[in-house]
Chain A
Amino acid sequence: QSALTQPASVSGSPGQSITISCTGTSSDVGSYNRVSWYQQPPGKAPKLIIYDVTKRPSGVSNRFSGSKSGNTASLTISGLQAEDEADYYCNSFTRTYTLIFGGGTRLTVL
């Protein structure tokens, strides 16, 4: 099964908002609300920032939000800060009882 499709890179200036898309198929993103997003700073382990499409774990800033339309999920980061610079990965449950990740998006804060 192919990976979910994410843009390789996005960038924004401090204070701006950016959105990262994650496109799958009707066999994964389009059929299940088990979509999650992870933030991975360089050299560190991934950290959960969004689960079940729209939910934020305790302690995660409300500047992070998630949504889904059809086969595409999205992560929006508002009020960009330098500390947001990291790689971001989406993940979805699939109908074959596996999990699939996106290829990852490198966020650069200009």
Chain B
Amino acid sequence: EVQLLESGGGLVQPGGSLRLSCAASGFTFRSYAMSWLRQPPGMGLEWVSGITGSGSTTFYSDSVKGRFTISRDNSKNMLYLQMDNLRAEDTALYYCAKDSGTYSLSYFDPWGQGTLVTVSS
């Protein structure tokens, strides 16, 4: 069974940093691209960033480009999101999700349960 478990969320001040982690199991991690997505409280879904299976190529939404960095460690089956210069509008439940193939921005199945990031002073 594929499982994705996010961690690392919490309360951080504007301008601060946070690193999210996603532990993956139940599939050949290096064979699949992965993404981070988020959902502000009471609002809709937003794709944040994606990374290919090898980790050689990364993709970002305009809203986080230059502030967030996605990475992965295929030896540990781990996905990461380094978030710097955080803003109030980054407050959201952050999900990691498994993509459909090695090099794709396509569809996500499954999603983790999410980790909550709150940016506030």
A48 x B47 contact (CB < 8 A): no
- Cα distance A102–B47 when bound, in Å? 11
Residue B88 at the chain A interface, CB threshold 8 Å: no
- Cα distance A56–B57 when bound, in Å? 28
A102 x B44 contact (CB < 8 A): yes
Residue A68 at the chain B interface, CB threshold 8 Å: no
- Chain B residues, Cβ within 8 Å of A99: 35, 47, 50, 105
Annotate B25-66 by CB proximity to A: 1 below 8 A, 0 otherwise: 000000000010000000011110010000000011110000
Q: Among the listed A1, A34, A46, which residue makes an inter-chain contact with B105, where contact means beta carbons less than 8 Å apart?
A: A34
**Which B residue's beta carbon lies closest to that of A58?**
B109
Q: Given contacts A1-B62, A97-B59, is CB(A51)–CB(B107) below 8 Å?
A: yes
- Chain A residues, Cβ within 8 Å of B46: 101
- Using a Cβ–Cβ cut-off of 8 Å, how many residues does chain B contribute to the interface with A? 22
Residue A36 at the chain B interface, CB threshold 8 Å: yes
Interface 9-residue window, one of B12-20, B70-78, B79-87, B111-119: B111-119
Q: Is the interface of A mostly helix, strand, loop or mixed?
A: strand
- Chain A residues, Cβ within 8 Å of B47: 91, 98-101
Among A36, A89, A97, A99: residue with most chain B CB under 10 A: A99
- Measured between C-beta atoms, what is the minimum distance from A43 to chain B in Å? 10
Annotate A2-41 by CB proximity to B: 1 below 8 A, 0 otherwise: 0100000000000000000000000000000010101010
Q: A48-B110, A101-B47 given. 19 additional CB < 8 A pairs? A: A3-B44, A38-B108, A45-B95, A46-B111, A48-B108, A48-B109, A51-B109, A52-B107, A89-B45, A93-B105, A97-B59, A98-B47, A98-B59, A98-B61, A99-B105, A100-B47, A101-B44, A101-B45, A101-B46
Interchain residue pairs A-B with the least CB separation, the first 10: A36-B107, A99-B47, A48-B109, A51-B107, A104-B44, A45-B111, A101-B45, A103-B44, A34-B106, A89-B45
Q: Which residues of A contact B (CB under 8 A)?
A: 1, 3, 34, 36, 38, 40, 45-48, 51-52, 57, 89, 91, 93, 97-104
